[in-house]
Amino acid sequence: MSFKPRTESTELIKFRFLNPRITLSTKEKKRYLNLEKGYQGEVMFDQLTEKLQNDLYILNDLCLEFNNSVFQIDTLIIAQELIYPFEVKNFEGDYYYESESFHSKLSKEEIKNPLDQLKRSKSLLRPFLKKLGIYLPVEGLVTFVNPEFTLYQAPLDAPIIYPTQLNHLMKKLNQIPSKLNYRHKKLADQLVAMHLSESPYAWKPIYTYEKLKKGIICPICFSFMLSVGDKKLVCEKCGCEEEADTAVLRSVGELKFLFPDKKITTSGIHEWCKVIESKKMIRRILLVNYRAVGERHTRYFEID
């Protein structure tokens, strides 16, 4: 089990909630799809590291600051005598390496070099660890997890793991001699405590309540859901079903996430959910699950 589990970033969640409700700019849409794809790749890598039996600490997704520079590590593995930061990439398709940069074979477009990203986080991680009194060697790797990724003209000595080498990497990690002690535990605790929950590099899309398309979005594919019968909702795209109560509560959470200052009222949630016709039903769900403040037309609900 990982020492620090991975969760979606606030930025990714925000984009998921906004994408079906407003028209994102081309740049925002691209950013959103990249975040989604990157996250999927990281989860794929987590499924492999989760199976490791060796005495290691696995910290997923760290955002740290050193000397006014922020750096992100997709996965950090602490072994007895070594620290491994991993840069996880979910690139798909054919790429080539030329004059120290990555290019898509299809579009010829230059991609941000993941080796440079790794180099940067290593160069910040080393002094960061020294400051905490840790002098273990740092050996980072760029890990490509998508089975449909190919890199042409790759330098032989680059710290890269290809999809075909993932199993071997896991075997290797499982076999390194490692016995962790309280000092490793202290380090892992410190890193978790120092993790910045919101990256300063996160995009902040602009939106207003009035401009957002109302309705309940699917928890699986984030498309709009339709109500069927009295108590059920079904997704128009993936067909998944959900109880109306659960869907309404989820939508309240979504509204709170997008608009933390907004008061939760029966009329407000009735408008926000749109597809639940009965206002009475909305009132019942809110009354059962949240603390009501005030009476009737001034009533609102406290969530926490």
Return residues touching Zn ion (CB under 5 A): 218, 220-221, 235, 237-238
Distance (Å, whole) CA 262 – CA 257? 10
Judged by beta carbon, residue 111 or residue 238, the one nearer Zn ion is 238
Q: At what angle do helices 244-258 and 279-289 cross, to 10 degrees?
A: 80
Q: Which is nearer to Zn ion, 82 or 240 (CB)?
A: 240
Of residues 202 and 240, the one with the C-beta less far from Zn ion = 240
Least Cα distance to 91 among 155, 44, 56 occurs for 44
Q: 138 or 221: whose CB is closer to Zn ion? A: 221
Task: Yes or no: say if 133 and 72 are a contact pair by the CB < 8 Å rule.
Answer: no
Closest separation in Å from C-beta 56 to Zn ion:
37
Taking the least distance from each CB to Zn ion, the nearer of 180 and 240 is: 240
Residue among 134 and 216 whose Cβ is closer to Zn ion: 216
Token digits of residue 26: 């081309």
Q: Where are the alpha helices (DSSP H) in the chain?
A: 10-18, 26-49, 114-131, 166-175, 182-194, 244-258, 266-273, 279-289
Minimal distance, residue 215 CB to Zn ion, in Å: 12
The enclosing H or E element of 233 equals strand 232-235
| CB 20, min distance to Zn ion, A | 10
Rounded to a whole number of angstroms, the minimum distance from the CB of residue 12 to Zn ion is 17
Q: CA 267 to CA 300: how far, in whole Å?
A: 10
Question: How wide is the angle at C-alpha 123 spanned by C-alphas 165 and 117, nearest 5°?
Answer: 50
Shortest CB 247 distance to Zn ion, Å: 12
Helix (H/G/I), strand (E/B), else coil: 291: strand
Shortest CB 234 distance to Zn ion, Å:
9
Cβ-based burial of 45 (10 A; exposed 0-12, middle 13-18, buried ≥19): buried
In the DSSP assignment, the letter for residue 76 is E
Min separation Cβ 218 and Zn ion, Å: 3
Measured from the CB atom, is 16 or 122 closer to Zn ion?
Answer: 16
Nearest to 30 by CA among 15, 46, 17, 44: 15
